[in-house]
Amino acid sequence: MVWKDAPTGSRWLGIIKVLVLPLAIVGLLAGAGVLVAAEGHAPSNEEGPLSFSLDLAVWSLVVFLLLLVVLRKLAWQPMLEGLRRREEHIRRALQEAEQARAEAQRIREQLQQEMQRVGEKVREILDEARRDAERTAEEIRGRGLAEVQAERERLLRELARARDQALQQLWQESVRLAVLISQKTLRRSLSEEDHRRLLDEALAELRQHSERYEREHAALVGNFQP
């Protein structure tokens, strides 16, 4: 996890500079304590407590410089190097986070565009399928009507042919009856009553054939009406 509020190298350097003064004071006090302890065995002088001592100043300066060298070697350089590495790590992490965010945004936009293209393609496919279904339905309806019409015409032709055959059969039967009557007339001499009876028989037979034809014709017409 990246802490954006982590102190940078410049801030740590400022903190170190602030700490230098207390450390220097501590070093001076330590050096002064050493010198005072060393002079405790020397003969006392008549100088006051605020009198300047060259030896004390030199030793204090030496201790201060040694303290600075030690701090520089043991504290400042590792601390600054660690701060520099941390700052570099934070900078790289921020760059990587920005790159990841930009890449995620690019991928999201690409996915949105792809989904939009897929949606348009699906709509086109559905529209085409609907148009094909409508055309197919129209073709089926048209073909069905055409087939029904063709079947009706075929059946009407068969009905007309059957009617013609029935009429021809009726005519042939009428001729046969007439010939039969003539043959019977020639074979014997018939009375008026015999002629009437033969004629009634012929008419009855002719009527039967006619009624049968009418029934067949009515049945055919009833079956093949649209």
Task: Render the chain in DSSP notation, one character per residue.
Answer: ---TTS--HHHHHHHHHHHHHHHHHHHHHHHHHHHHHHHTTSPP-S--TT---HHHHHHHHHHHHHHHHHHIIIIIHHHHHHHHHHHHHHHHHHHHHHHHHHHHHHHHHHHHHHHHHHHHHHHHHHHHHHHHHHHHHHHHHHHHHHHHHHHHHHHHHHHHHHHHHHHHHHHHHHHHHHHHHHHHHHHS---HHHHHHHHHHHHHHHHHHHHHHHHHHHHHHHHT--
The tokens 């393609």 sit on which residue?
121
d(C-alpha 208, C-alpha 38), whole Å: 167
Q: Phi/psi of residue 115, each to 5°?
A: -65, -35
Q: How many residues does the chain have?
A: 226
| pLDDT top residue among 13 and 120 | 120
pLDDT of residue 116: 81
At 77 the pLDDT is: 77
Higher pLDDT, 39 or 170: 170
Tell me what percent of the residues of the chain surpass a pLDDT of 70: 50
Is pLDDT above 70 for 155? yes
Burial of residue 60 (CB within 10 Å: 0-12, 13-18, 19+) is buried
Is 90's pLDDT higher than 90?
A: yes
pLDDT, tens only, 172-216:
766 666 666 655 555 555 555 666 676 667 667 666 766 666 666
Which residue is listed with tokens 């006392």?
Answer: 44
Per-residue pLDDT tens over the stretch 95-136: 988 888 888 888 888 878 877 887 788 788 878 878 877 877
pLDDT value, residue 42: 44
Per-residue model confidence (pLDDT) at position 94: 92
Residue 6 pLDDT more than 50? no
Check whether 81 has a pLDDT greater than 80: yes
pLDDT at residue 131, as a whole number: 83
Whole-number pLDDT of residue 188:
54
**Tens-digit pLDDT profile for residues 206-223:** 667 666 666 665 665 555
Question: Using CA atoms, how far apart are residues 60 and 34, in angstroms rounded to an integer?
Answer: 10
Q: Which of 22-26, 68-72, 86-90 has the highest mean pLDDT?
A: 86-90
**pLDDT interval class at 43 (50, 70, 90):** very low
Backbone angles phi, psi at 30, to 5 degrees: -65, -40
- Please say whether the beta carbons of 152 and 224 come within 8 A: yes
Average pLDDT, integer, range 51-73: 76
